[in-house]
Structure 1
Amino acid sequence: MEVLMAAVVISMGFVGATWAMSATARTQAMYSERSYVALALAKELYELAETLPKQPGGAPGATSAAGVLALDSLAGGSFSPPLKANGSTHAEMSSWRQQCSLAVYDLSDLSTPTEDSPLDALPADGSKLYRLEVIVSEGGQPIETAHWWITP
């Protein structure tokens, strides 16, 4: 009888451990998938930024595709549903948001932003770069942050 009880206890422990490991794997897969989606959404915005005119011409803080006229439109921009690289929206992703910031860096110091405003024209001599930061969130929770350098 004791052997049977020991076998039951060991079996229940094994089943519990297997269930816990399975739940952990499912949770990790869910977060990995969300992270992948968030990075893909950030990259879409970078690809859009690369196609935009670099000379100021938009209004900063755009909140829709129609407001994105030039790179400076992305400074302080926030898009929900998120924008695609072609300027259309991911209408089915209304709980997701892309939050943008744009800063200017001197090529000699890529760790500290300059005092230059990203809303002003930058010299095309290669001495300065824009740094685009995109924070992607779902349901108000930040998922991923990505950064890219953009030449004026």
Structure 2
Amino acid sequence: MTQSTTQQADKLAKMATKKTGKSIKPQWIMGAVGAGIVVIAVIIFLLIPKGLHGTYTYHDQHKDLLDGTVNSTETFTFKGDQYTYKDNEKYQDVMGAKTAHTRHEKGTYKLEDQDVTFTSSQGVKSTATLSKDKSHLNFGGSSFAKNN
């Protein structure tokens, strides 16, 4: 503790003693300030999100064997310890006929280091790898980019 900090604590203690009529020691003021800083640090630490949050997306467009066009968008959305996987696939054949398929899956996930283990609501397990900066999720040979 520096001398100026001690002097400021003494001044505060004298002012508090005059206003309250009770003897306030400078050490009590320093202890209260220290305890306040610790409480604020703990609250900030507890509010930092753990795990994954937000949405990761993968887009693909390609031609199939019959020269039809396939557009696919897959997303993983994370909230708390839950995930939702959604696969939207649109297909147009060479004659112009269009079809669309959507698949949903929900479940829980666990994150250990860069490994993400998914457990669907049906009990099926699968794994993915998360980049160190959490900007990409590699799953099934595809790289899902985090949406900002």
TM-score of the two chains, using structure 1 as the length reference: 0.30
**Rg: which structure is higher?**
2
The structure where strand makes up a greater share of residues is: 2
The structure where helix makes up a greater share of residues is: 1
TM-score of the two chains, using structure 2 as the length reference: 0.31
**Bigger RCO of structures 1 and 2 (CA < 8 A, at least 6 apart):** 1
